[in-house]
Chains A and B, each alone.
Chain A
Amino acid sequence: MQPDSDQPLLRMRGVGKAFFGVRVLDDVDLDLHPGQVHALVGENGAGKSTLMKIASGVYQPDAGTLELSGKPVTLPHPRAAQAAGIGIIHQEFNLLPERTVAENVFLGREPLRRGLVDRRAMHARTAELLAGVGETAIAPQTRVGRLGVAQQQVVEIVKALALDARVLIMDEPTASLAEHEVELLYNLVRRLQQRGIGILYVSHRLTEVFDLSGRITVLKDGRRVTTLDTAEATPDTLVRHMVGRELSHYFPERAAPGSAGAARLQLAAAGNGRLRPVDLELRSGEVLGIGGLQGSGRSALARAVFGIDGFRTGQMLLDGVPVRVRSPRQAVRAGIAYVTEDRKGEGLALSQSVLDNALLAQRAVQPRWFARAARTTTVRELLDAVEVHAAGTGQEIRYLSGGNQQKVILARWLAMKPRVLLFDEPTRGIDVGAKAAIHDLIRRLADDGAAVLMISSELPELIGMSDRIVVMRDGAIAGELPAGASEEAVMGLATGAATSTEVPA
């Protein structure tokens, strides 16, 4: 797996970068060989994305050198990197949903015939490229917007391959995929590997790192901590390298069995267009985990409770009182908080300050004159309490890390003193350290008497955090599992492999 004899495709030596005098990357070495999957791990702020951006021509390094197949190169802009054979697959896809697969793949390099775009050649070559990665279900003429996320990712990869990429940088490639799509990505990565493409794989999910990579580089605070063969590493050692703590300290202690209080949120045969009638009880003091594949109705459930796509049938009770929640505004007033899955799209006003974002919910539902000074003070205290790291509360929130952004959203909702909190993928794209902080906060909220519903695709998180786990499938509840259930039990229910609600933990 480690053919040190042959020349690395990509060699980075002593790479450093500073922004406004803050050193974010210092003396980093990295070798990527043909056919190698090289995982790049580290907390957010460790310098992964900076390193990635240097390798793909977005940033220029202040120090150090880059070599491609032994030749020194400079990459003044992303297109130079593309031309040199370095492709990057971002978390957010760079695709045009209104255009076809072929038009996307060949954008900027449309094949010409007598001066005009040769559609036939474009389609044929796209089909070839798709077949080359084992994907035959996608027609080149399909509009990209009609494809699912996993297929769009394939298109993105094919687009990079069309540029003869020999180095492929993948940034959190599974972040937007459902559990069952991850396997498809694995196959794709292995196929690319066989073709001799070097893959720099950036991921928070250690499972993937161990499943796919041959070698791992750990970054911490802008420095390379270690580079080791995956065979020699264990999750524990890796996490220790990343944060200096053991994996077992990862999740806060659960509520004592039987300590959950009265039912706060009850659903009786509540359903809508996307949800079959659901019966659910959420108690004060507990964290109820909602598992299931992406699209199984987990988010639809949260959205229904929060009044975005409200329930059409059945009943919802809050603290025993029947309520009708037809809009998020009513939900907020009823004491429900929703931390959405799409943090940037639905959770934040990116160009506004930390403080404005934290005050959003209060400003929205409380009268203008209502204790303005007091609520600003409260929110500032809350921001301190959740340990938001920002240059100040006036800083634009877009410049914060994902973890800090999420903490601001938490502070926003804490200010509303919610009775019920809905979390949808609360730690997606958040680094290990901030993750632990958010897990602690969620648990503390439950301990203070709130009822917490937490949707998560990450099984360790779901299992580690939840006092009970409800698994959804096809818009309905597939079953319920006790605390500490096994990953297999959750997946069994989620995929339909197990149908009984009495799955042993």
Chain B
Amino acid sequence: MPLARFSSFELLLLKSRHQTDTASLLLMAWVLASRGHITAPDRQRFAELAHDFRHGHDLDPLIEIAASHDLAAIQLAAEVLHKDASGERAYPFLRQVTALAASDGPLTAANYHILCFLADLLGVPPNEFSGLFEATTGQPFKAPDDPSCTAYWQAKERQQEQHHQRESENRRDSSSRQQHQHDHHRQDQRSQQQQRHHHQRQHEKRSNTHQSPPPNDRTRRALAVLGLEPGASRSEIRKAYRRLAQVHHPDRVFARGDAITASASQRFQRIKKAYDYLMEAS
């Protein structure tokens, strides 16, 4: 037998007042650690949860082990839990883990997979677990979008953009509202003021329409048509254009009927226009 030393989690498990509870706590810390980094509110929540567990020692070593992604420790904890808490006895633990995973906004993809793993480990079938999840958090337990797809990133970046736009609009709104309040104080020249305000607003609107596509907006859209990021070089643009032109060229689908040829030609036109614009602009 190799005379290896006992690892830190093995020692913790041996000293613990209740091995199953210590193992559960390590798996909970793993759920927290898989979000990226453990924040101070997370630690506090974890400490509050740990009151119900018969661990009887400091929580920091457990958090450290989980944050270092020590796979052997996690496997040992999973084995202990599998041995002692599978079947009916798993439900309280799964409920606590679910609440912890969903405590900070929507469920992350990593936490989704970890919850699946834990439910599978403890022998809870998928339909029962999704029921438990819904009862605990009030949201459906559905698979996250797939980040190995192009569509995921497009949707995500579009959402971020919209968020930014909304924020800037809100800022503009609030500043104009302040202006409005300021105007209300001068009641003696109300009609004039209103007229002026109206003019001003119209002027604003006009300047807005003039401004609203920022100088590189068309470039960005054209790049998006070619499936490129802002800041792509000329050679990348040419390469993307050639690839897309080959795929979408109407001659390719000529044999498959007029409708398909027409739609391909439309797509091809869009790609060609985007390419021409980019070549002129850059």
A binds B: no
